[in-house]
Structure 1
Amino acid sequence: SDLSNIVLMGTNVLSGAATGIVLGTGKHTFLNTISESLKNTKIETSFEKGIDDISRLLIKFMIFMVPIVFLINGYLKDAWFESLLFSLSVAIGLTPEMLPMIVTGNLTKGAIELSKKKTIVKKLDSIHNFGAINILCTDKTGTLTQDKVTVVKYLNFKGIDDDNVLYLAYLNSYFQTGLKNLMDRAILEFEEEHYSIKNKYKKIDELPFDFERRRMSVIVEDSDGNRTMITKGAIEEMLYISNFVEIDGQVFEIKDEIEEKIKILVSNLNEDGMRVIGIGKKTLPKDRDLNFSNKDENSLTFVGMLGFLDPPKEGVGDTLKSLYQYGVDVKILTGDNELVTQKICKDIGIEVTGAIDGSYMEAIDDLELKKLLKDTTIFCKLSPLDKARVVRLLKEMGNTVGYMGDGINDAPALRQCDVGISVENGMDIAKESAQIILLEKELSVLLEGVIIGRKIFTNMIKYLKMTASSNFGNVFSVVLASAFLPFLPMLPIQILFQNLLYDISQISIPWDNVDTEDILKPKNWSAESVGKFMVYIGPLSSIFDIITFLVMFYIFKANSPATQALFHTGWFIESILSQTLIIHLIRTRKIPFIESNANIKVILLTSTIMIFALFVPYSKINGTLGFIPIPISYFIWVILILTGYFFTIIFAKKYFIKKFKSWL
């Protein structure tokens, strides 16, 4: 892309003439490499990897626990068919069957919230990835900057603002009839907005811009018939054709020290991130013919220079600081040069820890590049495949990567990342490759998306951990009870009914409140974390299940097949109440009802399920389910058991957080 003597397939020729040599066609073109990169097998995102890992974990627990339940009950009670049904119901009880609905409900709720922020979500699981990103890769133009070139300096030889420099540049841009580039439009806008100068000239001729001369000229005539050639172009080319310099209205010959001073001034402007062009003029004889040519561009008087900048967007610095606070590191992937990018980063407050360009990247292998990625902020002069390579390697290093871009060059990176973000006015291929479309190209929307994504993930992981640990604890209790009871601890239909009530109590979790502490850092699915949670927290409920067994067995004499209905009823009530209580205990790392309250929807639904469960043994459906009315004195024991369970989980949470440095 740095070659000035090639034209890539897909380029629009706007003006000029040339003789071309075809170097490659079809699949051999550079543009085709972008197309080929988009045909690769779909890239697995962090959300999909996480769900797969969690599924494998739950299947492992099921494969391990269910046969044990089946064999113990079948062998000890010699009722293999009943044991088979019971073990199948245990398998269903161990499965978080509401997970698809909870996940989809959370993601849909997030998509609705983002739509109110002028953000379209094409793929629901990208909302989770939105919140999980710890690295955001973005282009510079239009994202960090206003995507609008403006005139910021118009200096004479001494480096002082000079209206004459701006006026001559205005006349040149105004009278030229060729393609007006961004700098021409910036000059015209700036001049008309700030000075409203009425020109007093008419155009005689012009010498159009070409890439060999890297300059263009217009010849104008004033009301007295005086003719002047006004030329603007690259500094090197302007100095090459200038023999004089204008200083304080007087013309002096350009000497080496003057030329060196001009170059130093230009270098300083470049370091400030500006693109610089020179302005010169030449007085022409009134009586010469009108056949002007490029040969007339000589012996000019150098008047000054203009500096152009694409200024940073207002508020983008504050947004980036907020992203840093939420654990998101920002990396700039751009086709622009390093000096301009460095300046923009400095202006908006990005701390630059390193910068490399595409040519250097092409000279090193992936292993060497990985060593540089962590401490590099700016990647400049990148090709489309360079951008995709950076994203791919960042993902291989264990990061969840978001990429924001809107051009054809961004398509491979958008396809490669965990969550691709484009804008409404982006190129079609970019929007097709992205999962999220912003109706406004603002980083502030990204921050809101990150926060919403993390809230959604927190509520999803709440459900998974509370269900997995509670179900594991229940199955663990079933295994223990099966070894010692002369009957099944609970009938299959009772387990399924209890599981149904517990699932219904969790439907409101997508609307639950989220503690601020739970969204400050990026989070991702972790089968290892869920496994630890199940093993540490799950068996604690078994302790109180065993206490319930002992109370029913010895105090209420439910210790024979004839009294098993009383045992089943007692355990059902204690189990459903403790399972519903665990929703409030696990939803927060804080003390529930005191330091952190659930959403009113969660409170109402869980309260309704608990009241309904207490009513079941005394209702008409108790016979169908195999329950019987239970003595009122039993509820005193239930209150004591649940109180002990409440404080045990509170202390267990503190220990778990201290040991593993996390909760949800």
Structure 2
Amino acid sequence: MMELILEIVGYFLAGLAIWYVMIGKKVRIMEKNIKNMSFVNYEQMAKSTAETIMELFKTPRRGLTEGQAGLLREEYGNNKITYGKKTPLIFEVFKAYITPFTLVLIALGIVSFITEYVLAAPGEKDLFGVSVIAIMVIISGSMTLIQSVRSNQAAEKLKSLVTVTATVKRNNHFVEIPMEDIVCGDVVKLSAGDMIPADIRLIHAKDLFISQSALTGESYPVEKTAGRTTNHHDTETSYENLVFMGSNVISGTAEGVVISTGNRTLFGHVARDLAAKPVKTSFELGIQKTSFLLIKFMSLMAPTVIIINGLTKGDWMEACLFGLSVAVGLTPEMLPMIVTTNLVKGASAMAKKGTIIKNLNAIQNFGAIDVLCTDKTGTLTQDKIILEYHLDCDGKENDRVLRHAYLNSYYQTGLKNLLDIAIIDASKETLETDKIQYQKVDEIPFDFERRRMSVVVEDNLGKTQMITKGAIEEMLAISSYVDFHKEVIPLTGKIREEILAKVKELNEDGLRVLGVAQKTNPSVVGEFSVKDEQEMVLIGYLAFLDPPKETTKQALEALKKHGVGVKVLTGDNALVTESVCKQVGLSAEVLISGEELAKLSDENLARVIEEYNIFVKLNPQQKARITRLLRENGHTVGFLGDGINDAPAMKASDVGISVDTAVDIAKESADVILLEKDLMVLERGIVAGRETFGNIMKYIKATASSNFGNMFSVLVASTFLPFLPMLPLQLLILNLIYDVSCMSIPWDRMDKEYLDEPKRWEASSIGKFMVWLGPTSSVFDITTYLLLYFFICPAVVGGSYHSLSPEQQVAFIALFNAGWFVESLWTQTLVLHALRTPKVPFLQSRASFILTTVTGFGIAVGSILPATSLGRSFGLSALPANYWLWLMVTIVCYLLLVTVIKHIYMNKYQELL
């Protein structure tokens, strides 16, 4: 039977090897094809007219039909970037089964096969030990493989919940489609906040500014135009009429035709050339350091056990086999499976709570956040701005001001923000908007430096107006006149003070104020530009209310309780921010502005950001600078944002957090996506991240310490006992039962107190934990040795070990092995319950039903095993009734000692898990 099993395994391994070669060849061919793939001649595209390019792809003015798009997709490929090569299944199999820990098991299996089968006498050949080892490798590897595949599937499924779209022209209509569905020849519409979905030759562009930092490292946006280029440029990105995937629109609008998609784009080329391994997260580094720490212990303990047993027992082959068993005893071979299961389960649980994890390894950082930076609008507030007042410069309600604001918001083609929506909604309620007949002439889009935007409109009589709205300070700066007391007069210092006083009064009530200015029949040569925003007439201002969310105060209190400090980073002014912060319970007595921050060096700012929690009038670069310095100060920083101006800070943070309704660039920059723009959702996600991390540490620390204690006990027993305290096969079975029990840990819960503080992976703490808590089990292992060797075994067998016949000594050893096997299983399993919580186990804190049931079942199986025929085949024998009484006393005393040492350890190091 065993020969048949070995033959089947041999065929299986041979098949895997052939598969590996075939898959490897296929992957190499794919890589060669990608490497040799032709890329676009960008110079030729830049020098060609837009009409020529559209003819090249046979793109009609109406845009492509779905049928034409399908043909172009077949010819030029899809719009997906291959970030390195996707790991084939065979490599996933290899990674699952070949780990530092399973290699130890495989080595032990080889030695066991040689000693128990190859070198054994014909009548004594036994493959049972090899089978047990094979089962352990198969269970560990298979569970890791299953969870790894599930992890990849879950990650892809979660990512699919967050869709980045682009606006393309299909059948004469602009429609939103997923970015990967874009094909060469598509006509794409771009506006502020959009990701550039492919490499595009511009057809039309208006005040278009693009951030190319992902491709070029340039800090400042560059302007792009649609004109034909005749000159040669040193780099593709410097062509004014080409925009590239990986960039994003800062301001302005444009239309263009797609000239390259997916791996054929410039970004795809860069991604292939720079397909280096991603920087390891602190979570991955923690796993790696922990693995090496345990291997160091193993490499020290196993040789020591081999030498001691070889010298004292004289059988070096048996000593070697036992030493390898000790190595297995120190090996948490289920670590990869436990970690992966925890991450997948954690991501699934967080998804149910409205939090999508784009990268599973971000969960640990998410739970470790101790500073959350957030914008004010939409996070602290309701994300539904209401236009409360439309006032003239006298401070009275005036529909003329509202009508001008409506024309500005309605006709602008950039990214309509919440203020624009509020203006349009209020106008529809107050004005007869269907009778407002104007034609748009031009526009000057919003940008974060000017903090205003303008449109030029023309009425039916040919009268033109430039209408500008923006932050009140910026509007006063470009206005030379004011409509005051129904008369246009020069804007004097006194009038400026009166206006600012009224605005301050509104700000103190929590209202955000924008100014509205206009200029009749503005003259311009060529297209309108920023230079035309001057000598305007300020006609009034708009006051908006952004009421705080009902849950914000509760959420901030919950975050504070969980050790997360909140810092508000906003572009809004001090008075409005102060009003909102007071309403939600944030102290806003001390705040600092972007203008003040600009004067500080990084060294001084690193100190200042620890003292202040409210930052106002910030630009995007200042948000990113604050975030970076907080990280350098040792904080784990999360940044919650949804706008274009938040993207740099999100990239600079440990965890970028966005919402499903955010602009494309914000979602693309995020590690975590909230399905609801609510801090309560974020708080629940942070807690779920900490619970996931806690369960991982629970397994590692409890298993490492108990295994270390058991192996320390083996050293003592090997030195003084005339026989092995447990046979190698028995050690393997003990480890197998325990590991199966540990598979239930991901379904355990954490104490609420554990979730109150951010958690970081500290590999060094595992070594300290092992040294402190491990030897506690050794104390009772030694008392069990003494009890078995001097009392229970002599009483059952009929004398002390050295006075017995060889047959009786075999019975003595079997009983001793069984006694320590059961005691070791009980202590090793129950210590999971003792070390999973700082509290008194079972009384103050109880494990989940699943963990309790599975570990209880494992203990029951291990306790019954010595009395069965299967147990006897392992070299165990039934235990007497009085043993169980002593076992109960031992277990109680052991748990009491663990609890005492645990509290001493916590007092010293201020942590447990």
TM over 0.5: yes
Secondary structure at the aligned position of 1:629 is classed as coil
Residue 348 of structure 1 is aligned with which of 573, 584, 600? 584
Alignment map for 1:244-263 (pairs within 5 Å): 244-246=484-486, 257-263=494-500
1:453 CA displacement: 1.1
Stretches of structure 1 that go unaligned for 5 or more consecutive residues are: 283-291
1:79 CA displacement: 1.9
Question: What's the counterpart of residue 536 of structure 1?
Answer: 772
Q: Assess if the C-alpha contact under 8 Å between 1:270 and 1:340 holds in 2.
A: yes
In the alignment, structure 1 residue 265 sits paired with structure 2 residue 506? no
Residues in 1 aligned to 2:443 and 2:879: alpha-carbon distance in whole angstroms = 96
- What are the Cα deviations for residues 514-542 of structure 1, in whole angstroms up to 9, with x where unaligned? 21111111112222322222111111111
The alignment-based identity, stated in percent, is 41
Residues in 2 aligned to 1:465 and 1:128: alpha-carbon distance in whole angstroms = 17
Alignment map for 1:63-82 (pairs within 5 Å): 63-82=299-318
Q: Which has the higher contact order (CA 8 A, sep 6+)?
A: 1
Residues in 2 aligned to 1:298 and 1:13: alpha-carbon distance in whole angstroms = 22
What is the identity, as a one-letter code, of the residue corresponding to 2:606?
K
Question: What's the counterpart of residue 518 of structure 1?
Answer: 754
Secondary structure at the aligned position of 1:374 is classed as helix
Question: What's the counterpart of residue 370 of structure 1?
Answer: 606
1:47 CA displacement: 1.2
In the alignment, structure 1 residue 127 sits paired with structure 2 residue 363? yes
Question: What's the counterpart of residue 347 of structure 2?
Answer: 111
1:550 CA displacement: 0.5
- What are the Cα deviations for residues 325-365 of structure 1, in whole angstroms up to 9, with x where unaligned? 11112234455566655554444333355535389459634
Residues in 1 aligned to 2:579 and 2:683: alpha-carbon distance in whole angstroms = 23
Q: Assess if the C-alpha contact under 8 Å between 2:211 and 2:247 holds in 1.
A: no
Residue 512 of structure 2 is aligned with which of 274, 277, 284? 274
1:491 CA displacement: 0.8
Question: What's the counterpart of residue 544 of structure 2?
Answer: 308
What is the identity, as a one-letter code, of the residue corresponding to 1:605?
V
Residue 412 of structure 2 is aligned with which of 171, 176, 179? 179
Residues in 2 aligned to 1:112 and 1:202: alpha-carbon distance in whole angstroms = 51
1:168 CA displacement: 1.4
Change in CA separation of 1:408 and 1:370 when aligned onto 2, cut-off 3 Å:
same
Change in CA separation of 1:28 and 1:13 when aligned onto 2, cut-off 3 Å:
closer
Question: What's the counterpart of residue 877 of structure 2?
Answer: 628
Question: What's the counterpart of residue 861 of structure 2?
Answer: 612
Residue 169 of structure 1 is aligned with which of 376, 382, 401? 401
Question: What's the counterpart of residue 333 of structure 2?
Answer: 97
What is the identity, as a one-letter code, of the residue corresponding to 1:577?
W
1:498 CA displacement: 0.5
Q: Provide TM-score, normalisation by structure 2.
A: 0.61
What is the identity, as a one-letter code, of the residue corresponding to 1:497?
I
Residues in 1 aligned to 2:595 and 2:237: alpha-carbon distance in whole angstroms = 23
1:313 CA displacement: 3.8
1:276 CA displacement: 2.6
Question: What's the counterpart of residue 686 of structure 2?
Answer: 450
Change in CA separation of 1:204 and 1:515 when aligned onto 2, cut-off 3 Å:
closer
- What are the Cα deviations for residues 447-503 of structure 1, in whole angstroms up to 9, with x where unaligned? 111111111222221211211111111011011111111111111111111111111
Alignment map for 1:136-175 (pairs within 5 Å): 136-155=372-391, 159=395, 162-163=396-397, 165=398, 167-174=399-406
Residues in 1 aligned to 2:436 and 2:598: alpha-carbon distance in whole angstroms = 51
1:608 CA displacement: 1.3
1:44 CA displacement: 3.0
Residues in 1 aligned to 2:340 and 2:680: alpha-carbon distance in whole angstroms = 26
What is the identity, as a one-letter code, of the residue corresponding to 2:412?
L
Q: Assess if the C-alpha contact under 8 Å between 2:834 and 2:841 holds in 1.
A: yes
Residues in 1 aligned to 2:908 and 2:617: alpha-carbon distance in whole angstroms = 46
What is the identity, as a one-letter code, of the residue corresponding to 2:512?
M
Count of aligned pairs: 636
Q: Assess if the C-alpha contact under 8 Å between 1:570 and 1:630 holds in 2.
A: yes
Q: Assess if the C-alpha contact under 8 Å between 2:478 and 2:535 holds in 1.
A: no
In the alignment, structure 1 residue 397 sits paired with structure 2 residue 633? yes
Question: What's the counterpart of residue 184 of structure 2?
Answer: none
Q: Assess if the C-alpha contact under 8 Å between 2:210 and 2:224 holds in 1.
A: no
1:430 CA displacement: 4.2
Stretches of structure 2 that go unaligned for 5 or more consecutive residues are: 1-191, 193-206, 213-220, 249-266, 525-532, 795-799, 803-808
Question: What's the counterpart of residue 661 of structure 1?
Answer: 910
Q: Assess if the C-alpha contact under 8 Å between 1:358 and 1:379 holds in 2.
A: no
Alignment map for 1:404-415 (pairs within 5 Å): 404-406=640-642, 410-411=646-647, 413-415=649-651
Change in CA separation of 1:629 and 1:428 when aligned onto 2, cut-off 3 Å:
same
Secondary structure at the aligned position of 2:339 is classed as helix
1:619 CA displacement: 0.6
Residues in 2 aligned to 1:16 and 1:337: alpha-carbon distance in whole angstroms = 37
1:547 CA displacement: 0.4
Question: What's the counterpart of residue 652 of structure 1?
Answer: 901
Q: Assess if the C-alpha contact under 8 Å between 1:273 and 1:342 holds in 2.
A: no
In the alignment, structure 1 residue 574 sits paired with structure 2 residue 810? no
In the alignment, structure 1 residue 601 sits paired with structure 2 residue 601? no
Q: Assess if the C-alpha contact under 8 Å between 1:411 and 1:433 holds in 2.
A: yes
Greater shift after overlay, 571-580 or 581-590? Answer: 581-590
What is the identity, as a one-letter code, of the residue corresponding to 1:566?
L
Q: Assess if the C-alpha contact under 8 Å between 2:392 and 2:401 holds in 1.
A: no
Question: What's the counterpart of residue 481 of structure 2?
Answer: 241
Question: What's the counterpart of residue 566 of structure 2?
Answer: 330
Tell me how large the CA RMSD over aligned residues is.
Answer: 4.4
